[in-house]
Amino acid sequence: MDKKSRNALIAGNWKMNMLASQVPAYWQGLESGAKLAEGVSSALCVPFPMIPAMKAALAGSQVKVGAQDVSAHDKGAYTGEVSAAMLADLGVDYCIIGHSERRAYHAESDELVNAKLKALLGAGITPIMCCGETLEQRDAGVTLSFVESQIKGGLAGVSAEEMKKVVIAYEPIWAIGTGRTATAEQAQEVCGYIRGVLACLYGAELAKGVQILYGGSMNGKNAAELLAQPDIDGGLIGGASLKPEFADIIGAANEG
């Protein structure tokens, strides 16, 4: 299986932006520009309160709804948390886990990310597991070993069968929301390395089938070059997913 046989996935990460009442107008704006086609999957990962509005807006389209976090617990006395079963019940297809903002502001460890990943798989939701280094780590030359440790920690105890349902997103922290995109070479180097780590863990055949996304200031202008790299199968898009420009990125994936 090579790049051509892996479907592209373009996922938007709204972070803590927008309101449920703004969802229909957003979708109308996007739909008029979106060139959706076979082979490219897309999703919008929105804050929990917007999931029903987004589900309603996207009904009949190929775009799926995603969440941005999930509890590691099944149910019970966990005030404020949202379980994987609750997300599945709302028809959520994807869920971001281990985003660097959650790792930084909520002290999420690889162990916790691993527990969340397993909770999602148990509920039939596709995890989009994020990894990525800080600028200090890049400058210190430890990017690859750090990302490898995040991948191995996040996937601990995950079987080969389960791994077929996991998406990985490489997001260098210094490129997130900064307008400073990784060069296509930098992004490819790490995404290729991640595929190598997956090959060691699960075998080369399985690794070739895993969708690996790049995220970090991807936009309508730089998407085509990034998506053309052999080990980059899509994008996790923050800022640009809030604008009609998101459709341009889906269009770039369609053409790639």
CB of 197: closest distance to ligand PGA in angstroms? 21
Helices (H) and strands (E) in the chain, counts: 12, 8
Task: Pick the catalytic residue from 108, 133, 148, 171.
Answer: 171
Q: Which is nearer to ligand PGA, 215 or 251 (CB)?
A: 215
Instruction: Pick the binder of ligand PGA from 98, 127, 239, 256 (CB under 6 A).
Output: 239
Q: Which is nearer to ligand PGA, 13 or 143 (CB)?
A: 13
Please, which residues have CB within 8 angstroms of residue 126's CB and are 6 or more apart in sequence? 93, 94, 95, 120, 165, 166, 167
Stretch that binds ligand PGA, among 19-27, 144-152, 155-163, 235-243 (CB under 6 A): 235-243
Residue 37 burial (CB count, 10 A): 12
CB 143 within 8 Å of CB 161: no
Q: Which is nearer to ligand PGA, 7 or 178 (CB)?
A: 178
Instruction: Give catalytic status of residue 189 as yes or no.
Output: no
CB of 242: closest distance to ligand PGA in angstroms? 9
CB 237 within 8 Å of CB 10: yes
What's the CA gap between 119 and 113, in Å, rounded?
Answer: 10
Task: Show the binding pattern over residues 176-205: x = contacts ligand PGA (CB under 6 A), - = does not.
Answer: xx----------------------------
Q: Per the structure block, which two tokens stand in for 75?
A: 């149910």
For position 132 contacting ligand PGA by CB under 6 A, the verdict is no
Name the one residue in this structure whose structure tokens are 């019970």: 76
Q: Which of residues 202-231 bind ligand PGA (CB under 6 A)?
A: 215-218
Instruction: Give catalytic status of residue 111 as yes or no.
Output: no
Task: Show the binding pattern over residues 6-45: x = contacts ligand PGA (CB under 6 A), - = does not.
Answer: -------x--------------------------------
Q: Which is nearer to ligand PGA, 202 or 217 (CB)?
A: 217
For position 106 contacting ligand PGA by CB under 6 A, the verdict is no
Residue by residue, DSSP assigns 20-73 as GGGHHHHHHHHHHH----TTEEEEEE--GGGHHHHHHHHTTSSPEEEES---SS
What 3-state DSSP class applies to 216?
Answer: coil
Helix (H) or strand (E) holding 131: strand 126-131
Applying CB under 6 A, the site for ligand PGA has a residue count of 13
Q: Interface with ligand PGA by CB under 6 A: which residues?
A: 13, 171, 176-177, 215-218, 236-240
Catalytic residues: 99, 171
